A and B are shown apart, each in its own frame.
Chain A
Amino acid sequence: MSAPRLVIEALGVISLRAGGAPILRGVSLTVDTGEVHGLVGESGAGKSTIAKAILGIVPSQVRISGGRIVFEGRDLLALSASELRAILGRDITLVPQDPSTALNPSRRIDAQMTDGLRLKRGLSMKEARLRARALLAEVQIRDPERVLSSYPHQLSGGMRQRVLIAAAFALEPKLVIADEPTTALDVTVQKQILRLIRALQERHGTSVLFVSHDLGVVAQICDRVSVLYMGKVVEQGGTADILQNPQHPYTQALLAANPRYDRPDTGLEPTPPEVVAALRAEIAAFDAGALSRGGG
């Protein structure tokens, strides 16, 4: 078996603003070649912080306090800025959450899509534009020429997200970080976008780290899942195992709170107070241990 494409080991992140309060508490996970790995949890669980740490874009008031992020054998946290630049945006790319703010409103789509192809792949403007056109066709955009010469505001949300997916896959990256890529979309468009991500990922053997708060979405697109609570992985495993036979009380509570149209008598269960108490104790025990180990 080959080594996983991405290995995150005991990643710790602290907030400098909140007196060094932990945001990530020793997160470890692996993403294999060609795997879609889900990061699921509620707000504040640290899903996006993990994505930002990989991409080297943690906010200034936040600091990585420990651990390693090993991508294809190299620890991203130990690389120089120029070494990172060679990897990020080429081997590791991002599909952002909000398609309306991720594109530059004053530049046409062709200009934005060809940047990476020219700068990271060394294509000429003409070659890059042809490639961009092919990519838009690959994400099932019917008239790529019109989209290429459009400004972002002239496109629908679903269309903009297709453009961003095409851009993320344009350089044939090895790892795509998808940060809640369908949260802003209608369900029918969401389904098309998920189908697209899965198809591109399978065709190119890309690994995907898929951040989501939606257990339904995770069920349909992820091979494996890590469930996060307050910056700690509480459960990890194959998607079917986690959803059908959740071991951790928090995963069980998440599933019990989730309404589903096919089982109207279930769902909307409040998280039992003893589960909340046990989770807090688990977090406190980790923090106490981290303190005695002398690190955050």
Chain B
Amino acid sequence: MADDLLVARGLVVAYGRRSAQLFSSRKQVPVLHGVDIRVGRGETVGIVGESGSGKTTLGRALLGLVEPTAGTVTFDGADITALDEKARRQLRRRMQMIFQDPMSSLNPRHTIGRILTEPLVLHGFAKSRAAALSLVHGVLDRVGLSRNTVERYSFELSGGQRQRVGIARAVVLKPDFVLADEIVSGLDVSTQAQVLRLLKELTSEMHLALAFISHDLSVVRSICQRVVVMREGQVVEEGPCERVFTAPASDYTRMLIDAIPLPTVDPGWLTRGAAAEAAVPG
């Protein structure tokens, strides 16, 4: 399609390859078995699946953080797997990531100000520290953090504030694409609502493409336009959320949806689908 931003074709990733020289019997563990996925410009795509489905590996491959055994990843027309380090570095500004646990992804020795201004200077986005700081103030205003957050350290912030910093760090470079990997899984439901709402607003304001990895299908339904369902390293189903959630084509998707407990008393829910689960080995 003409408006594709990020396209992966036939992606195969296997871990354990490098150690083959040391222990010749060490076998490769395939994690992705030929995955096709595309994210359009400004499109929000959910990547869902259970643990071990390969969703995190897929995300890392999309950003060029793991090298695929086979297949290609094309970002804005360029094959990122074929780029040299210099060209990749230029792309990195345009492809950002928000991490699951901001406590371990934000350097505890650096102030939030340093964490946010450094990439601006590094990528030549701001000519001086002062110019960078004014950009940072703008992004802090936008994500709902006070400007004096620049003087704080990550451990002084609450979980929700930290995740706002994570979002600010990702969007301050005005990227085209953001990968968010389980970014709300550790948050309380009220904080989660605020963070998701912010992310949803930012993607539409900035025309930002988003790949949103989550195990929580209700969260994906609330912020994504399209959804990709993964299982054991393969895409089992893909389509607009509206269609997939109301009329899933795959039995596996159906089972995943049926396993979500909704906050409405449903006396038959617990026993329903027991036979289907037994039929789909998992």
Interfacial residues, chain A to chain B (CB-CB below 8 A):
42-43, 157, 186-192, 194-195, 198, 213-221, 239-240, 243-244, 253-255, 257-262, 264, 267-271
Contact = CB atoms under 8 A, between A and B. Distances in A.
A242 to B, nearest CB: 9
A186 B222 contact: no
B274 to A, nearest CB: 7
Contacts of B218: 258-261, 267
> Which one of B220, B241, B259, B271 has the highest number of Cβ atoms from chain A below 10 Å of its Cβ?
B259
Given A195-B271, A259-B219, A267-B222, A243 B50 contact: no
B196 A261 contact: no
Contacts of A187: 50, 215, 217, 256, 259-260
Contact of A270 (B50, B190, B260): B190
Given A186-B50, A220-B269, A270-B193, A192 B277 contact: yes
Nearest to A185: B51
Nearest to A265: B222
B94 interface: no
A176 B207 CA distance: 51
B2 interface: no
Chain B interface size, as a band, is: 35 or more
Given A191-B270, A221-B270, A260 B241 contact: no
Nearest to A256: B193
Contacts of B263: 215-216, 218-219, 243, 255, 258, 260
B197 interface: yes
Contact of B193 (A157, A195, A264, A268): A268
A195 B50 contact: no
A243 B222 CA distance: 20
B270 A220 contact: yes
Contacts of A190: 259, 261
A259 B221 contact: yes
B264 A254 contact: no
Contacts of A43: 188
Interface of B: 50-51, 188-190, 192-194, 196-197, 200, 215-222, 241-242, 245, 255-257, 259-266, 269-271, 273-274, 277, 282
Given A43-B188, A191-B277, A264-B241, A214 B222 contact: no
Contacts of B255: 188
Given A243-B265, A259-B218, 20 more contacts: A187-B50, A187-B259, A188-B256, A188-B277, A190-B259, A191-B277, A195-B274, A215-B263, A217-B261, A218-B263, A219-B266, A220-B269, A221-B270, A259-B196, A260-B218, A260-B262, A261-B221, A261-B260, A267-B218, A271-B190
Contacts of B242: 264
A261 B263 CA distance: 11
A268 B196 contact: yes
Contacts of B220: 261
A42 B189 contact: yes
A189 B197 CA distance: 29
